Amino acid sequence: MRIDPQLKALRSDRASQRRIQAEMDSAKAAWRKLPSTAKILAQIQGYAGGESLDRLDGLAELLRNADAANGFVAAWTKCMARVLRRNPLGQIPFQQSSSPGFVIMQIVANGPVSLSLLSYAPRPGSGVPSSASFADREQDEIVLAGAAKGWMHGIADLTKDKAKLATSEHDWSAGDCIRTVAQTQSRQIFEVEGHFTLLQLVRHASDPRPTREYALDTGALIHQACADKRTSQAEMALAVLGEMRRRDALPAIADLAKCGPDHLRWEAVRHALALDPIKGVSLLSEIAGAPHDELRIPASRLLAKLADAHPQLFPSPQSFGESRTPCPV
């Protein structure tokens, strides 16, 4: 692997690394102190606290007026480019990610709210999407440059495992505004001319419902993903504890089975059964006996199957005892 001589030299020069990073951080701080930026940051804080976008004049204008949006981004670019010209190998102090044909840079983050720059480029062979995902977040965008074709999907009717989708095709270009309503609307880009750049404002729900993906031709639910970081962390912890066969974690696993999202509770029941079948059956019986528990029916069905296949698991009532933590998620 070839390493550029300049990069190799910088990698071994810790003093230069610290100096460049300090310059980058100073440029970021200077940009945040600009009066125009400070106003937007204050209103983003209000938006993160639950304020309606329509009541935040500066932030709303940013997502609805091309001149305001381009001016805001130009001020940010000017501050950062000044340092990059002197230090082309400097690392911009903003969260960013990229994939073929797509780059995103988050320039402001405040709790559930983020303000980001998105750039799309043509990706040969990508094809037309066959599914669409619906997330529990409000999303407002304004096109800064370029042109693209895309779809807006809306859920017209919804059942447990299927959605009736209404789809419209759009040609977006500089100055166009795109608003996506949480859970019921989805935006897709599938054909780009040159580079297509947007400024995007997102506000995630405080207790987000799962993100659901539906097939565009049939409306069938094909995938569901947890949108809550805490729940995802709990799922990972369950997987690790189960793989390690940590029977001492049974009380905590029982807590997870008694509250929280249904899919997490069911996963906790599954691990409890694997670690200690008798106590797992006791937990399952408790759920099956709760008249208003949404997992009551599947728990009853599983109990019946276990009773037929493994009657030795039902010698006498068992209990996990008192839980110290009422709900860890």
**pLDDT for 26-64, tens place per residue?**
999 999 999 999 999 999 999 999 999 999 999 999 999
Tell me the per-residue pLDDT of 116-149, one tens digit each, with 9 for 90 and over. Answer: 999 999 988 778 899 999 999 999 999 999 999 9
Six token digits for residue 289: 């006996």
CB of 126 closer than 8 Å to CB of 137: no
At 133, phi and psi to the nearest 5?
-105, 145
Of 136-145, 251-260, 319-328, the range with the lowest mean pLDDT is 319-328
pLDDT over 70 for what percent of the chain? 94
Q: Which pLDDT band holds residue 97 (cuts at 50, 70, 90)?
A: very high
* Residue 150, beta-bridge partner list: 170, 189
Q: Looking at residue 207, what is its pLDDT? A: 80
Which pairs from 29-35 meet CB under 8 Å and 24+ separation? 30/79, 31/75, 31/76, 31/79, 31/80, 34/75, 34/79
Of 22-36, 95-109, 129-143, 282-296, the range with the lowest mean pLDDT is 282-296
Evaluate if residue 227 carries a pLDDT over 70.
no
What is the value of pTM for the model shown? 0.75
CB of 233 closer than 8 Å to CB of 184: no
Evaluate if residue 264 carries a pLDDT over 90.
no
Nearest to 265, CA basis, from 291, 289, 298: 298
Evaluate if residue 3 carries a pLDDT over 50.
yes
Q: Looking at residue 228, what is its pLDDT? A: 67
Q: Which residues contact 166 (CB under 8 A, 6 or more apart)?
A: 153, 154, 155, 156
Q: Which residues contact 186 (CB under 8 A, 6 or more apart)?
A: 132, 133, 134, 135, 152, 153, 154, 180
At 205, phi and psi to the nearest 5?
-65, 150
Which pairs from 274-280 meet CB under 8 Å and 24+ separation? 274/242, 275/242, 275/245, 275/246, 275/247, 275/249, 275/250, 276/247, 276/250, 277/310, 277/313, 278/313, 278/315, 278/318, 279/250, 279/254, 279/318, 279/320
Query: Which of residues 158 and 125 earns the better pLDDT score?
Result: 158
Dihedral over alpha carbons 221, 223, 227, 231 (to 10 degrees): 110
Domains with residue ranges and CATH for the chain: 8-91 (no CATH), 94-226 (2.60.120.10), 229-313 (no CATH)
Q: Looking at residue 322, what is its pLDDT? A: 41
Evaluate if residue 94 carries a pLDDT over 90.
yes
**Mean pLDDT, the chain, integer:** 88
Please compute the mean of the pLDDT values over residues 94-100 and round it to a whole number: 93
